[in-house]
Structure formats: structure tokens, C-alpha cells
Structure 1
């Protein structure tokens, strides 16, 4: 009676992904299931929150995320080719959104499944409504709202009232604090 040879262990089908050089503020929260890839630098600022399954792609250039900003589940920031992506302070990149812009200004919200194309420049305190699109290389001035099949309007309330902007910042800070209690921090995984 002959014995069967032992099965050969399978090799992994993918090579492990290398970690990009990361500079993370000590108060930043990075979920364990967040994905950060590429060979360019990634900088994540004070009190920024990167949710599980959010993707930061630094293959095509550096990615910078400002303080008190949040990147939600399934959102993607960065490019695979050509150029840095700079996200300002107090920015929300919501679930499923894709941001390949050169820059997104302070206080801006990119809502669910919205797309900001490669090379776009989005001003401060803008709002991109769900499923809307800012085209590649487009420039969006401060306080602009993109809604309803690509229509645009100026948010005069936020533009003309500094107290509204301050209240929005306070609201964002409270949301960030709430997320700190809900999302376990795995930032050490990206700095070691």
C-alpha cells in the first residue's frame, strides 16, 4: 500500500502590499480596515478620522488630509497616476465618494457617491451633493453647491455669516469626537 504525498501548500495569490511612508498626527484615528496604498507620502492631520474600508491611494502622488477631516467607508482619495491630492481642514468625504482633485478646500463636504475628478480644484465651504460630479480640471469657487444634475449655486448663508462657519466647525469637531469613541484606532499599523 502506497501513501499519498502530502499536499503542497498554496502560495498566496497576491504579494503583500507595501505601506507608503505615513506621517500621522498622534490624535488621528485610522481604522484597522482602512486601506492606505502607494509609494508616495501620506500625511494625516490632527483629529482626522479614516473609517473602515476607506481607501487612501498614494500611487500617483502625495495625499494630505487636514485636521478634523473625515473619510467615510468606501470613499477613495488619491490617484494612481499624476499628482498630489490635498484635503483641507474640516472636510467630509462621505461614503462611496471618489476624490482625485488637486485640492479640496476647508469646510467642504463631498457627499455620498459624488465624484471630484482628477486635477479639479474645489474651494472652501463647498458642498457636492450625492451622486454629483465635479469634472476633471474644473475649478469650483468658494461656497459653491453642486446639486441636481450638475446645477450650481452660491451658499450665501455660509459665505456672508462667519458665525455659521464657526458653528459648522464646532459640529464637525463634535462628530469627530463621537467617531473617536466608535472607531478603534489602528494608526500604529501604518507607522511601524
Structure 2
């Protein structure tokens, strides 16, 4: 552990897990109520009866506090998925993503504009929220290459994670097209698998 990381860990340890959870809940509530701009250190401190200096000591900046709260509130979506085949992995990723859609959409919409406007928030979200999910999707593709399911030089490989994550982001912008809960599964079968030239095995083929 680096000196900087050790110092940060020591600072965070001064708050009990229960108190930290209370602070994060206040951040999430403020995000839901008014978006990223409605979250202030003063507002979180007032809502939780916590000293503003404590918040700065623990997290340093508002983007780091918001990112920590978002990271704590979410469940890893794609980490741990390993069905033994690429088709199975991507379909399971689609199923899990669809099950999280409504719960996560509200929060993601609350910070999406801020993500574009605030580089410091963007960097923090990428590190703690986005990159772990992208890494999990990339791992599915690496395993598929190792199993011989797809060619290592297939140019579509590099676009799978961005397309998958992008589809999750735009679903709600096109609700008239993607209102059905099976939209992500259709996206996998109709777009990703053909681009990867991955064929479902008999046990994985769509039901007639």
C-alpha cells in the first residue's frame, strides 16, 4: 500500500461503517432530489449533523465524496460472470444489466451531465465505477479467445465493452424502441454475437 493510500485509509478509519453509510445515504438522496449540483459539502454536513471539516478530511473534494457514495451504493454488475462460453457470458450480462436497469438509471441520469461538465468527477467515476465493469466485459472476451470461440484479431473485440455500456446508457433515451425488458438480450444476439462471429452452441440457441 502506498503512503498516500495508507494515509487515506487511516483517515477513513476514524468514521464507523455505520456513520460512513449514513453520509453516503445523504449524498445519494441529494443526487436523487436535485442532481449533482444539489450536492454540497454543506448540505451533506447539515443533513447528517456532521462537521464539514470531517467530510473534507475524509474525502478531500465533492467529486470524491460523490464517487465513493455511488461506488458503495451499487452492486458490481458484470464481475463474477463466467458461464463457460462467450454466448452464455454475454447473455447473462444482458440479463443482469436488465435487472439493474431501473434501480441504477435514476442515479446515472443524475450524474450524467455532471460527468461531461466536471473532469474531476469523470476521472473518479471512471476509476471506481466504470473501469471495473469494463474490465469484467473484457475478461469475458479474453476467455473466449483462449477457448477458441472467437479470433484474437477480430476488430469487434475492442468495441464490445463500449457498445454494451453505451447501450445501457441510451436505453432510456429511446424507450419507445427498447421498452421491452429483453432489449439487452436482443442487442447481444443481433449485434454483438454476429460482429464477433460467435455462434451459439446447441444448448445456448434461442428457443423456437
Tell me whether the two structures share a fold, i.e. TM-score over 0.5: no
Q: Name whichever structure is richer in strand by fraction.
A: 1
Provide the TM-score with structure 1 as the length reference: 0.21
